[in-house]
Structure 1
Amino acid sequence: MPTRPMRFNVSHWHIANVESYRNVTAQQKLADRILAEADRLIDETEDDTIKRKLEVDHQLDVKIKDVEFRKEQLEWQKKQLDEELDCLITYMMRVEDAEKNLGHNSLDICRKCIVFREGRIGIDLCKDEVDVELEHEEKMIVAIQRMLIRVKEQVKEQMRRLRAMVYTIVKDLDDKSMSLAIDRMNLQLNEKSSGLCTNQGPVSFRTGSCNQEDWEAQTAAAIEHADKELASGRPLRAYIDVVLKQIIDDLWRQYDKVNSAFYRRIEQYKEQKTKLENHHYETVRLINEMTMKMTSLKKAIAEKEEFLALAQTRRGNRSQRTNSELCRDEAETYLEAESDQIQDAIAKLNKSMMEAQASLRYLLRTQVQIEEDINIKTNSIKIDEVDCMPLRAGIDYRAF
């Protein structure tokens, strides 16, 4: 037989009923309180949630407008930077064009003229005004090239800084564009939107590394930095304008000085060549006259020698007289005087002949020297007028 359960008395039964009733009543009251609290919480959280959503929407809208405003400022700054970069690129091309023109045109022509003038010969190979001005022009061009190289480096550095600033602004604009896209999308979402997701358990979202003040300060600093770069770039362009204008003025001034020196020197050469040609003509005339005169002297000497031979023959014949007839009579005196006179005339003629020969030799040497000097002047004129001046016509210091 199974064990019989424990038996309760009637008092236990009444106590158990009372206890059960009390528990039921307490559970019912608790349920009523929970229901009332739930209704209150529903109403309260609904209003609070709607209010908070509206506040978030408002803040998102404010943030969007703030980002749009900052983005417009940055875009305007980027436009200014791009325009400044374009201007600097143009100025860089002007400087490079000036440097290339000076190096491949003007300096080459100047140095060719210096080399050509080394082809002068004789006394004309001297350091004249043209040499001085050409050397000064060469030094000026080289110095200007060095200055243009320094200007190029300044422009490159400014362009590098502007590009770095543009890169920073573009990166900031990209970040702001992404931020605008995200916030605009968030502003369009509501609690009924599809694709909403709720994370279960604790959620960890990425948070920013700076606050609102830091964010505003960062954009303001970028704009301020861009303003400073723009402010430093504009004076550089003005400086380049002044430098290029001054360079062109100085080069044209020196170009005119060199050409004027060439013209004066060519005129001196031509004047000296004309004088030498006149001297050459006169020397040739004197040589011809001297040659003719020497012929006359030779003829005169020959004639005088014939007369001397006649006189001496007569004296020799008369010396054959004998006894008292061999006297010093008047005829003998005249013959002796005639012989002495003829000998003296022949001596004078010979002396004149020697002087004429010496003068002729000197005149011939002078003629050769004059012809050499004329050739030297002709060569110098050819170098300066034919070789250098047409070459210098190729120099063009146009406005860069």
Structure 2
Amino acid sequence: MGEEQFGVRNVIGAPVVGTRLAEQTLVCMPPRTAKFTLAEWKMSNDQRCRNSEDQQQLADRVLGECERIREETAERSSIMKATSDRRMEERIGDIEFNKKELQLQRKEICLELEALSVYKTRLQDCLSSLQTNALTISRKCLMLRDGRVGIDLVVDEVEHALQREITTILGGQSLLKRALEQLNEQMRRLRSARYLVDRDLQYKQAAIDIDKGSLSMKPTDLCLSVYEGYTSLDPANISADEYNAYSGKNIQMAAREVTSARPIRVFIDTLLKQVIDDLLTAYHKCNHEFDERIKETKIAKAKLEDMHKETTQKIVDMQNNILELQKALSAKEGYIGLAHTRLGRRAQRIGAELVKDPPGQSLYYECEMLRHSTEQLQQMLHEANASLRYLLQTQIQLEEDINVKMNTLKIDEVDCMTMRIAMDYHAY
């Protein structure tokens, strides 16, 4: 039948089985005209009608299902968009709440940093004042007091007080420097916390802007695009618990640093008060020792001046006494010459007249008495001259001591005490 349909016949009439097509002689014949029966025609028409009805029923079911799916997907899309909008609004509210908490903590950090900056300025001013004012003046006082001369170059209570004052100043500087280091470290930690809070606020503000921008979009916007990549469209890998823990950690860290900074201010207040009290105590003690030493020096100087005045008067009296002794010796020379001359003349008597008579004895006693008186006067003149030399030497020593006391008073009362007035201790 197949060969007849395609118009291929075997010319020889032998069967085709077992032969090769290339070895056969083929003749192409036109197909015969199709002829169907009336039953086949009716059956074919009925089959076409049934197929058409089946396809129409299938189309009706498809149309109904499509309408249902359209309505369902539209409703689902609307519900999902409303749900997403509501959750984005809730998320924006949560982020804004955390943002307000962070802003409050940031404000506390800024206020604490401003307060610590004031305390840092106070510490720096105090250290600068101690270094350039108090310590310099105390050391200069010690240096000036080395300019005392003579017996006044003594290690007295003033020098001990100055040494203790310098030790107190250096100790106060050491305490203030350590407090300043702690303050700088706390300020550094506060700045670090503020940086983390600022970064978190920046991230949260960016998230709020993104969510608000997403919330304002509509399905009819022209800026919409469809992602056709292969990777996940949602790259988020941080859970809500981790996010809350991160924000809470930043808030707790900021609050902890602010809480840690407040005791430092109390400590610095107490330290400044203690240091200033110690410095004022050492200052008043040193000034008291200066006053006492100045009083002692003035008393000694006044006593030396009185002694100098008395010595000067004694020198004048001794000089007058020496003049009187010299006059007395000069007066004795005439009497001595007269007595010796008389004895010499009476020694020229001759014979029995050279007798020890009362006049001779009287002249002899007169000569002895004049000799003894002259020796006494010369001895007294020698002692008077020696005493005058000692008095003059004492006068010079007194004048030197008075000058030494005047130099000491100038150093202690004028130079040192004038400088110490500039030593300013206050609470800073």
TM category, shorter: over 0.9
Q: CA deviation at 1:199?
A: 2.9
Q: CA RMSD in A?
A: 2.2
Q: Flag the 1:238–1:127 CA change in 2: closer, same or farther, 3 A.
A: same
Amino acid at match of 2:216: Q
Which residue in the other structure is 2:264 paired with?
236
Amino acid in the other structure paired with 2:192: A
Partner of 2:363: 335
**Structure with max Cα Rg:** 2
SS of equivalent residue, structure 2 residue 249? helix
Match of 1:147 among 150, 175, 178: 175
Deviates more, 1:88-97 or 1:304-313: 304-313
Report the equivalent of 1:390: 418
Instruction: For 1:281-320, list aligned pairs within 5 A.
Output: 281-320=309-348
Q: Matches of 1:305 and 1:23 in 2, distance apart?
A: 192
| TM-score for the superposition, normalised by structure 1 | 0.93
Q: Percent identity?
A: 39
Which residue, out of 86, 90, 96, partners 1:62? 90
Distance (whole Å) between structure 2 residues aligned to residue 253 and residue 224 of structure 1: 44
Is residue 296 of structure 2 the alignment partner of residue 268 of structure 1? yes
Whole-angstrom CA distance in 2 between matches of 1:367 and 1:280: 6
Shift of 1:43: 2.5
What pairs up with 1:96-111 in 2 under 5 angstroms? Answer: 96-111=124-139
Letter in 1 for 2:238: C
Instruction: Pick closer, same or farther for the CA change 1:201–1:392 going to 2, 3 Å.
Output: closer
Matched positions, count: 400
Aligned equivalent of 2:383: 355
Which residue number corresponds to residue 160 of structure 2? 132
State how 1:1-400 maps to structure 2 within 5 Å: 3-5=29-31, 10=36, 27-200=55-228, 202=230, 204-400=232-428
User: What's the TM-score, normalizing by structure 2?
Assistant: 0.88
Between the aligned partners of 1:79 and 1:343, the Cα distance in structure 2 is 115
Q: Which string of whole-angstrom CA distances, capped at 9 and with x for unpartnered residues, describes residues 141-160 of structure 1? A: 12222222211111111111
Q: Hey, what's the Cα distance between the residues in 1 that align with 2:93 and 2:390? A: 108
Of 95-104 and 84-93, deviating more is 95-104
Q: Displacement, 1:121?
A: 0.7
Shift of 1:27: 4.4
Q: Which piece of structure 1 moves more, 11-20 or 37-46?
A: 11-20
Q: CA deviation at 1:103?
A: 1.5
Aligned amino acid, residue 5 of structure 1: P
Measure the CA separation in 2 of the matches of 1:92 and 1:205.
Answer: 52
Q: CA deviation at 1:297?
A: 1.3
Q: Offset at 1:30?
A: 4.1
Q: Name the SS of the counterpart of 2:356 in structure 1.
A: coil
CA deviation digits over 1:261-304, x for unaligned, max 9?
11111111111111001100111111111111111112222222
Q: Which runs of 5+ in 2 are unaligned?
A: 1-26
Distance 1:7 1:115 in 2: 145
Greater relative contact order (Cα 8 A, min sep 6): structure 1 or 2? Answer: 1
Structure 1 residues without counterparts, runs of 5 or longer: none
Structure 1 residues 14-40: Cα deviation after superposition (integer angstroms, max 9, x where no partner): 687777667656544543443333223
